[in-house]
Structure 1
Amino acid sequence: MTTERRALLRDRVTQAYVDSYGEEPAMLVAAPGRVNLIGEHTDYNDGFVLPCAIDYETVVAIGPNMGSNVRALACDLGGDHDSFEAARPFAKQTAEWKNHVRGIAASLTDRGLALAGSNIAIAGNVPQGAGLSSSASLGVALAKAFEEMHQLRGLDKTGLALIAQHSENHYVGCACGIMDQLVSACAKTGSALQIDCRSLEASAIPIPEHLSIAVVHSGVQRGLVDSAYNERRIQCEQAAAHYSVLALRDLTTAQLEEGRSDLDKVSFRRARHVVSENNRTLAAAEALKADDLVTLSALMAESHASMRDDFEITVPAIDRLVEVGAEFLGTTGGIRMTGGGFGGCVVAIVPKSKAAAFEGWINEHYQTPDNGTAPFFLCKPSAGVSVLQSK
C-alpha cells in the first residue's frame, strides 16, 4: 500500500473510533479493493479469472464492548451508525453499508461461530461505484476483524472470502461469484491471482516490474445490486441447463456451436462470452508470465468486444474510453472494461515509462459524460487482508 495513503486512512478511522467509543481500538484490519485484468462474469460460472489487489483499501477498527450489541460507525458516510444484537436474525436495513456489517455477522453466525459485543469504525479509499470491489473489501475486512477479535477458529483466508461472498449473496442481495472476495483475502504483492472459481485454487502470476496497472473511471457510476448483474447470472444458468452441463465452465467451443440450434440468440451470446472469456483468461495468464504484451493486448481487446457485443454490459462512455486508450497503447499494453459492467472503470496494463503520457492522452482525448476529466488511478498490485495493528 502507498504508505502515506494508508497512514491517512489509519489515522482517520482510529480518531473516529476514539471520538465515538472513548477509547483506542483493539486492532485495525485492512483489506484491499481489486481490479480484474481479464475474466469477467466467469466466476459464478465456475470459470477462471485473473484479478489483482490494488493499493486502495478498507480499514476496520474494532474493539470489545461490555454488551452483546455490535455497534458500527461509517466514517465515510457522515458518521452514520448502526447497532444490532449480534445473535439475532438478520434484519435488512435501508442503508446498504449496514447490510454489509449485519450480513457478515449473520454469515459467521450461520457457520456456528459466536460473536460477542463489538465496537467498529469503518473507513476506506476504494473508489465507490467504480467496479473496484469496495464492497468485497469491506466484507473481507469485517470478517477478518470479527475473526481476530473473537478468536474464531477454523477460518483460513479462503474461508474469510466465502463468508464475505455468503453475506453478499444471502443478505446484501448481490448474486456475485467468489472472485472479488478471494483476491481481497489472498492476493500476493506484485502479482495477479489466477483463480479457478470451482476448486478455489489460486496461483500468483507475477506482473513484470516494468508494467503498471492503470484504472480509469468513465464517469458513469454503477451499482451491482441495482444493475442487470443478477439477470446475467440467471441467463448463464439457463444456458448451462440447455447444454446439460453443471456450469458454462464445462462447455467447450465445439459443444457450444453444436448445441446452439434450440437456444435463443440472447442466451447463446451470453454463453459464448463465458466460454471464450475462460479461454482468454488462461491464455492471458500465460502471456503475462511470458511478458508477451502483443498477445495480452489482443486478448484484452477481444475480451472487451465480447463484453460489449455478446454479454452487453458496456455503455457508450466505456466503449469510447477503451477506444481512446487503445489508440495510445497499440500493442505495447492492453485495455478493457473491468468489473460487473454498466459503467465504472477500464483497466489498462501500461509500461511504466508510458504511464504519465498515457494519463495525459486520456485527459486530452476523453471527457466524462458531464464533460469532466476521467479520474485516473495508477495502482500497485498489493497483498490481501492483513492486521495492521493489534493490542
Structure 2
Amino acid sequence: MNDIRDDVAAAFEQWTGRAPDGIWSAPGRVNLIGEHTDYNEGFVLPFAIDRRTVVALGMRDDAVIRVASTFADEVAEIPLAELSAEAVSGWAAYPLGVAWALGRHGADLAAVPGVDLFIDSDVPVGAGLSSSAAIESAVAVALDEVWRLGLTRQQLAQVGRLAENEAVGAPTGIMDQSASLLGRADAAVFLDCRTLDTEIVALGLADAGLAIAVIDTGVTHAHATGGYRERRASCEAGAAALGVASLRDLGVDDLDRARTELDDITYRRVKHIVTENQRVLDTVATLQADGPTAIGELLDASHRSMRDDFEISVPELDLAVETALQAGALGARMTGGGFGGAAIALVPLEAVSMLQVSIDGAFAEHGYGIPDVFLVRPADGAGRDR
C-alpha cells in the first residue's frame, strides 16, 4: 500500500501542480459465499481484501469536479450543478456517479466545493473482485468527509449502489459496496440484503493455517450486459410466478412447488438462489461453531449450483475449481457475477505451492491462458490513509 499511495500522491501533484489535501482508499472484495442472492434480498458473506483503490483529492475554488486516473488517458470534468446519471460515461461514471448519488442522498451539489480526484488501483479489473465498488467506496468516503455530509457506512453503500445502477447502468446489488466499506481484518461481513443489517463474522484463517487463493482466469466479463441481466430477470419472473415479493421469501421446502409451477430454466434459477441463501446461513453457523476448516463442502456445493442451475460458470472457472480440489483445497468455487473472472479456493498453507503448479499445468494442458493465482487476506474497509 505504501507504494501505491506514494504513486497516487505524486501523480496528483504532477497533474495539478500541488499536493493533495488527502488520500483515501477502499478495498476490493471476495465473496466467500452467496452469489446473485444480493439483488434477491437474500444473504451474502463477502470479505474485504488487501487489494485497494486509492484516491487523492484536492479541493478546488470553483464548483467543478474533475477526475483522472492511471487506467485512462482522458480527464473527465463537469460542473457539479450539471451532474446527472445521464451526463457521465465510461470509467468516469464510477467516481462522477458517486458525486451525483451523494446529491440524491442529501448533498447540496450547488453549495459544496469542487474537487480534483486522481485514482489508482491494484484491484484486478474483470476478475470478480469488485474493482468498481472499490472505486465507488473510496470516492464516497473521501467526498463524505470533505463535503462534511456525515453519512453512515450503510448509507455510503447505498450511494455506491445507486451510482452503479443508475450512472454506470449495471443492475448490481449492495453486497460489493457493503464489503468494501464495512470489512474488518480476518473477518467476513454477513449482510442481510433486505434489512441491510450486518454482522462481522470471524474467519480465523490464520489460526487454522489456511489461506484464500484467488485464481483469476483472465476471462473478462461485463455486468452491464448480457447474462447478468438475464439472470436477474429470471429471478424476478420466478418470484412473480410464485406470488412472492422476492426469492428471499422462499425456503428450500418451497422448491417442490416451484418445480411444478415454473418452466425448467426459471426453476433452476430460483433453485440456485433459494439453496444459496441457505448455504450462506449454514456457512455462518459452521464458522461460528466449527471454524473455517469445516466449510469446504458448502463452497463446493455453491459452485455446482452456479455451474448447473444458474449457469454462470465457464470452462476455465470449472477447471480452476476442479484442479484446486485435486491439489488439496478444502473447498473451491467461482466468485463474482460469473461468465468469467475468478475462482477462490480455501487452501492449507502447505498446499499453496502445489495449487499454483497444478493450476498452471492444467490450464496449459487445456490450451487456456495461464491464470494469475494470488493469496488474499481479509482486510479493513474503506477509510482515510493520509
With the length of structure 2 as denominator, give the TM-score of the two structures: 0.94
Out of 104, 107, 116, the position equivalent to 2:113 is 116
Equivalent position of 1:160 in the other structure? 156
Provide the residue aligned with 2:190 in structure 1. 194
* Alpha-carbon distance, 1:56 to partner: 0.4
Percent of residue pairs identical? 38
Task: Report the counterpart of residue 204 of structure 1 in structure 2.
Answer: 200
- The partner residue of 2:126 within 119, 129, 149 is 129
Q: Is the 8 A contact 2:88 2:167 kept in 1?
A: no
Separation in 1, partners of 2:341, 2:93: 22
* Distance (whole Å) between structure 2 residues aligned to residue 318 and residue 93 of structure 1: 36
| 1:50 paired residue among 38, 45, 48 | 45
Q: Give the AA of the match of 1:187.
A: G
1:93-125 alpha-carbon deviations (Å, 9 max, x no partner)? 685211112211111111230232111100001
* Pairing 1:196-345 to 2, within 5 Å after superposition: 196-208=192-204, 209=206, 210-291=209-290, 295-329=294-328, 333-345=330-342
Q: State the one-letter code of the partner of 1:199.
A: T
The range that moved more, 85-94 or 161-170, is 85-94
Aligned partners of 1:297 and 1:172: how far apart in 2?
35
Distance change in 2, residues 1:262/1:53 (3 Å): same
2:136 to 124, 134, 139: 139
Aligned mates of 1:338, 1:264 — CA distance in 2: 27
In 1: Cα distance, 2:143 partner to 2:153 partner:
13
- Tell me how many residue pairs correspond in the alignment: 380
Q: Within 1, Cα distance between the matches of 2:113 and 2:364?
A: 50
Partners of 2:289 and 2:356 lie apart in 1 by: 26
> Does the 8 Å CA contact 2:217/2:370 hold for their aligned counterparts?
no
Query: Residues 69-108 of structure 1: matches in 2 within 5 Å?
Result: 69-77=64-72, 79-90=73-84, 92=86, 95-108=89-102
Query: 1:242: how far off?
Result: 1.2
The equivalent residue for 2:382 is 385
State the Cα deviation string for residues 13-66 of structure 1 (Å, max 9, x = none). 111110111111111110000001111000111111111110001011111111
Q: Distance in 2 between matches of 1:233 and 1:89?
A: 28
Task: State whether structure 2 residue 81 is matched by structure 1 residue 60.
Answer: no
Report how far residue 361 of structure 1 moved: 2.2
Query: CA RMSD, aligned part only?
Result: 1.7
- Secondary structure at the aligned position of 1:366 is classed as helix
Conservation of the 8 A alpha-carbon contact between 2:321 and 2:343: yes
Q: After TM superposition, give the deviation of residue 143 of structure 1 in Å.
A: 0.8
Instruction: Work out whether residues 293 and 333 of structure 1, in 8 Å CA contact, stay in contact via their aligned partners in 2.
Output: no
CA distance 1:167–1:101, shift in 2 (3 Å): same
| Distance in 1 of aligned mates of 2:195 and 2:320 | 35
User: How far, CA to CA, are the matches of 2:181 and 2:85 in structure 1?
Assistant: 26
Comparing 163-172 with 346-355, greater Cα deviation is found at 346-355
More deviation, 316-325/28-37 = 316-325
* Residue identity matched to 1:146: L
Q: Secondary structure at the match of 1:367?
A: helix
The question of whether the paired residues in 1 share the 8 Å contact of 2:327 and 2:351 is answered with: no
TM-score by length of 1: 0.93
Following superposition, the deviation at residue 355 of structure 1 comes to: 1.9
Q: Is 1:175 equivalent to 2:174 in the alignment?
A: no
Letter matched to residue 334 of structure 1: G
- 1:368/1:374 contact within 8 Å kept: no
- Tell me, yes or no, if the aligned pair for 1:143 and 1:164 is still in contact at 8 Å: yes
- The runs of at least 4 consecutive aligned structure 1 residues that moved more than 6 Å come to none
Structure 1 unaligned residues grouped into runs of 5+: 1-5
Structure 1 residue 258: Cα displacement: 1.8
**Which deviates more from structure 2 when the two are superposed, residues 362-371 or residues 351-360?**
362-371
1:294 & 1:67 partners in 2: Cα distance?
55
- CA offsets, 1:317-343, max 9 Å, x none? 1111111111122xx511000000000
Could you tell which deviates more after superposition, 226-235 or 262-271?
226-235
Residues 87 and 109, structure 1, Cα contact 8 Å, conserved in 2: no
Report the Cα distance in structure 2 between the residues aligned to 1:280 and 1:122, rounded to whole angstroms.
Answer: 36
Which residue of the other structure, out of 344, 366, 372, is the alignment partner of 2:363?
366
